[in-house]
């Protein structure tokens, strides 16, 4: 039986029944591939994972990449998916999408790896949108050297306008927010800590560092165990010597008594 909608008439007006509103769906995928080439994918993974590891002990820093960021409530078409982005002042937790109106702030740092399909947006519409939303630092890296006049371009937000950053050396740029130097190394954009001068390691490098740390820890444990064993042996020898002295004194006393 078909449902009917009845209206209720009163002396002053007609009251219509409430019609349930359809919930707004914010998709979790834009249907586009994560990266065009192996190089772009490897750069993206290194940027996201190395920064995650670097900020692992800070609960107020969120690092992600290739995640849909929605910037206008009620408009599921208003979104972008940065290759890598960092937000300060929000909880570290897993997200399916990032909604700016819920989080209370836009990404602070965005890094895009420019390719043939993204070059126009990266340097054009995205740049304007990021400035409008308040992204404080915006970096573009061209790993293949095909789309930008220089491999690395950076902008810092001053007021509501982006100002191009001047390279410090070898085409590198400094990020005050990340406290990092961003250095082009061939097809890789390397992150180097300003406080220590140490680069954030690649996955293979991180595994090697962890392996060496484990070996050092095991060696320290073995040395500690050896020291403990030596100390125990020395204690046993000391006890044995003390006991032997006591026995000799007893024997000497007996002999003197007999004499």
Residues 160 and 206: their CA atoms lie apart, in Å, by 39
| Fold (CATH) for 26-200 | tt1808, chain A (3.90.1570)
- For residue 106 the two structure tokens come to 């836009």
Contacts of 120 (CB under 8 A, 6+ apart): none
**Positive or negative CA dihedral for 202, 206, 207, 209?**
positive
Per-residue model confidence (pLDDT) at position 122: 77
Please state the domain extents for the chain: 26-200, 201-259
| pLDDT tens per residue across span 144-199 | 888 888 999 999 999 999 999 999 888 999 999 999 999 999 999 999 999 999 99
Per-residue model confidence (pLDDT) at position 20: 59
Residues of the chain with pLDDT under 70: 1-20, 34, 120, 205-219, 221, 224, 251-252, 254-259
pTM over 0.75: no
Per-residue model confidence (pLDDT) at position 1: 47
Residues 101 and 108: their CA atoms lie apart, in Å, by 15
Q: Are 110 and 84 in contact (CB under 8 A)?
A: yes
Per-residue model confidence (pLDDT) at position 123: 73
């Amino acid at each position: 039986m078909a449902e009917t909608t009845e209206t209720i008439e009163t002396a002053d007006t007609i009251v219509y029944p409430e019609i349930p509103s359809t919930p707004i769906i914010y998709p979790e995928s834009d249907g586009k591939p994560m990266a065009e080439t192996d190089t772009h994918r490897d750069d993206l993974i290194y940027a996201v994972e190395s920064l995650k590891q670097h900020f692992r002990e800070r609960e107020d820093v969120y690092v992600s990449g290739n995640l849909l960021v929605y910037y206008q409530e009620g408009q599921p078409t208003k979104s972008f998916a940065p290759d890598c982005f960092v937000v300060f002042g929000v909880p570290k937790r897993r997200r399916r999408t990032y909604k700016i109106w819920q989080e209370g702030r836009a990404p602070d740092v965005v890094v895009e790896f420019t390719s043939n399909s993204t070059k126009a947006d990266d340097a054009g519409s995205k740049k304007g949108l990021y400035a409008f939303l308040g992204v404080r630092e915006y970096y573009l890296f061209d790993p293949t050297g095909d789309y930008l006049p220089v491999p690395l371009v950076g902008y810092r937000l001053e007021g509501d306008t982006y100002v191009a950053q001047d390279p410090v050396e070898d085409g590198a740029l400094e990020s005050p927010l990340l406290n990092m130097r961003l250095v082009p190394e061939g097809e890789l954009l390397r992150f180097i800590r300003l406080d220590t001068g140490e680069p954030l390691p690649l996955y293979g490098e991180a595994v090697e560092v962890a392996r060496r740390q484990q070996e050092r820890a095991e060696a320290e444990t073995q040395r500690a165990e050896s020291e403990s064993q030596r100390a125990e042996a020395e204690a046993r020898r000391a006890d044995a010597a003390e006991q032997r002295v006591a026995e000799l004194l007893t024997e000497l006393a007996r002999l003197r008594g007999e004499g």
